[in-house]
Chains A and B, each alone.
Chain A
Amino acid sequence: MAVIRNQEYLNKLDKTFKIIFVIGVIIMFAIAIAETQNYKGFSPTPSQVAAVGYVVILLLVIAGVIYSQFPPSVLGKPINSEEAQKEENR
C-alpha cells in the first residue's frame, strides 16, 4: 500500500483507528462476558474463544491496512528515503 506523507491526514487515520480499537475492545469484552459469565466449566469451548478471537483478528487486519499507509519510522522519525528505497527493493 502506498505511503502517505500528508501529516494531517495521517493524524486523522491514527485517531480513527484508535476509536475503532476502543469500540472493538468494548465489543470484545461484551462478547466474552456474555459467553462465559454463567459458564460453570473450568475449560473454555472453541466457540467461546473463537467468538472473542475474531474481533481481535479483525482489529489487527484493520490496523494493518491503516498503518501500512504510514511512513515506516525509527525512533519516531521516518526512516530516511535511501533506507526506505532499500526496503522497497528487497
Chain B
Amino acid sequence: MITVTAPLWVGIIIGFIIGAAAEAWGIGNPETLIRLAKWEDRLFVDCILIGVAVSTPVMYALYAAGIGFHWSPKPLYIIGVGLGGFLFGIGLAISGYFPGSTWMALGEGRRDAIYAILGGLVGAAAWTALFQTPAGQWLVNTLNFGSVIIGAAHPAGKEYLIPWDGLTPIDLFLISLVYAAVFFTIAYYMPRYKGGIHSCIRGTVTGKLPDVEIAKRRDTAMFLTYGGLPYDDKSIAKKLNEYYAVESNVTRYYMVSVGAIVGLTVVLEMFLHQIFGESTTYSWMAGALFLPNFKYSQIVFKGIGWEPFSDIGTLLGSFFAAVFLTRRFTAFRKIIPPSWEKRFGSNEGLRALGSFGGTAIMMFGARMAGGCASGHILSGALQMAISGLEFGVMVMIAMIITAKLIYRE
C-alpha cells in the first residue's frame, strides 16, 4: 500500500486552497450561515453535498487501487455526538459561525470574527474542563461503538480499513458510488433558495434563472460585498460576486465546482497527513494558554496534527481571496449581519455578545462531539463515517429550530 506523510508546513497550503475556495462562496460571512439556519439559502449544504458526491468515490477508488489514506472517522458515541451536534446547531444559528468560518471571517477583516474567536476559545476551554468529570466521561463512553464507517471499521492510527465480513475494498468503492449518487441527487434537486426552483447545479447548467432567483442572488451578492472594497466592471471580482448577472460568465462553473475542489483537497490532505478538521485548534490553544494540565489538553497535545497550520492556511486563503479576488475585505469596520440587524437592531455590543456566546456554545458542542463542520460533516461524510452523518442530522435539526425561535420568520 502506498502511503505518504508530508511535513507540517504543507498543511498551510491545504488550508489555503480550502479557505480561498470557500471564501468565494461566501462561507466566511456569518449572514450566509444564518440564512442557512433559517433554511433560506442552502448554499453550504450544496457545497458539502457536491464535495462528498465527487470525492468519496474518488477516495475509495484510490484505496481499492492500493493507495493508503490517513483515515480518521470520528468515534460513534451516540449521546455525546448527538448532543454535541445539537449544541453546535444552536450556536451556529445564533452566531453564524462554525469553527473554520471564524478563520475565514477574520481573513475577510470582519470585526465580528474577533468576538467569535474569543467565544470559541471559551467554548473549547469549557469542554476541556468538563471532559475529566464523570459527566464528561459518561458523554463520550456511553453507547460508544468506536470508529465506524458504512461497510468497515477503522483501527486507530492505521492507514487501512477493516471491511465488514465478506466485503473487499472494491465492494467499499461500489458502496461509495451508491452513497455518492444519493448525495448528488439531493444536491441536484434541492433548490438553493427558499421559494426558488433551481439547485446550484441546475442553475449553472441551465444558465437562465427566473427573476425571483436572480433577485435572490443579487441580494446575496449585496450582503457578501457590503462594506468591502471597490472593484471595476472588468475585474475578476465582478465575475465572482455577480456571476448570476452575465449568462456567458464562465466563473459560474467555477462557483459550482467549489464544493468539488474542497472535497478533492480533503482527499489529498488525507493522503498526505490527516483529515481536514478545524475545531481541535481551539482546544489546543485553550489548553496551551489556560489549561495545560487538564486530561483533555494532554490528549489534544499528543493527537493534534497539522490543524493549527491548516487553520492558518484557511485564514490566509480567505484573506488572499478577499483582497485579490472577491474584494470583500471589510477592514474591521462595523458590519452587522442583516438578519441579525433586522431582528435585534444595529447595537454592536449585542451583536458581539451573540457572536461570542453563539460561537462558545457551538464550539462546546463541537468538542463534545469530537469534531465540527470540517471534521465530522465534511471529512466524516466523505469517509462515510456514521458519526459524521449523525452529527450532521443533529446540527440541521437544531439550527433550523433555533433560527425559527430566534429570528422569528
Q: Mark A41-53, 1 if CB is under 8 A from B, else 0.
A: 0111010110011
Cβ of A23 under 8 Å from chain B: no
Chain B residues, Cβ within 8 Å of A46: 288
A24 to B348, CA, bound (A): 32
The reply to whether B231 and A36 form a contact with Cβ atoms under 8 Å apart is no
Q: B233 → chain A, closest Cβ, in Å? A: 8
Cβ of B334 under 8 Å from chain A: yes
Shortest Cβ distance from B308 into A: residue: A49
Q: Which residue of the partner chain, among A14, A44, A73, A87, contacts B225 with CB atoms under 8 Å?
A: A73
The reply to whether B229 and A73 form a contact with Cβ atoms under 8 Å apart is yes
* B interface residues, tally (CB under 8 Å): 48
* A interface residues, tally (CB under 8 Å): 42
Q: Which residue of the partner chain, among A43, A52, A60, A76, contacts B231 with CB atoms under 8 Å?
A: A76
The reply to whether B12 and A70 form a contact with Cβ atoms under 8 Å apart is no
A73 to B237, CA, bound (A): 13
Chain B residues, Cβ within 8 Å of A73: 225, 227-231, 327
> Would A76 and B238 be within 8 Å (CB), given that A25-B316, A43-B301, A43-B303 are in contact?
yes
Q: Which residue of the partner chain, among A48, A60, A77, contacts B109 with CB atoms under 8 Å?
A: A60
Chain A residues, Cβ within 8 Å of B329: 63, 67
The reply to whether B8 and A77 form a contact with Cβ atoms under 8 Å apart is no
Cβ of B253 under 8 Å from chain A: no
Chain A residues, Cβ within 8 Å of B304: 43-44
Shortest Cβ distance from B330 into A: residue: A72
Q: Mark A19-35, 1 if CB is under 8 A from B, else 0.
A: 00100010011001101
Q: B215 → chain A, closest Cβ, in Å? A: 14
Shortest Cβ distance from B303 into A: residue: A43
The reply to whether B228 and A43 form a contact with Cβ atoms under 8 Å apart is no
Chain B residues, Cβ within 8 Å of A90: 334, 346, 348
> Would A72 and B8 be within 8 Å (CB), given that A43-B305, A59-B319, A77-B230 are in contact?
no
Cβ of B175 under 8 Å from chain A: no
Chain A residues, Cβ within 8 Å of B7: 33, 36-37, 39
The reply to whether A64 and B331 form a contact with Cβ atoms under 8 Å apart is yes
The reply to whether A56 and B109 form a contact with Cβ atoms under 8 Å apart is no
Could you write out 29 A-B pairs with CB less than 8 Å apart? A18-B323, A25-B316, A32-B8, A32-B12, A36-B8, A36-B9, A36-B309, A43-B302, A46-B288, A49-B309, A56-B312, A60-B106, A60-B107, A63-B109, A63-B323, A64-B109, A67-B331, A70-B331, A72-B227, A72-B228, A73-B229, A74-B228, A75-B225, A75-B241, A76-B230, A76-B327, A78-B230, A87-B334, A90-B334
Closest 6 CB pairs of A and B: A76-B231, A67-B331, A32-B9, A68-B331, A36-B8, A49-B308
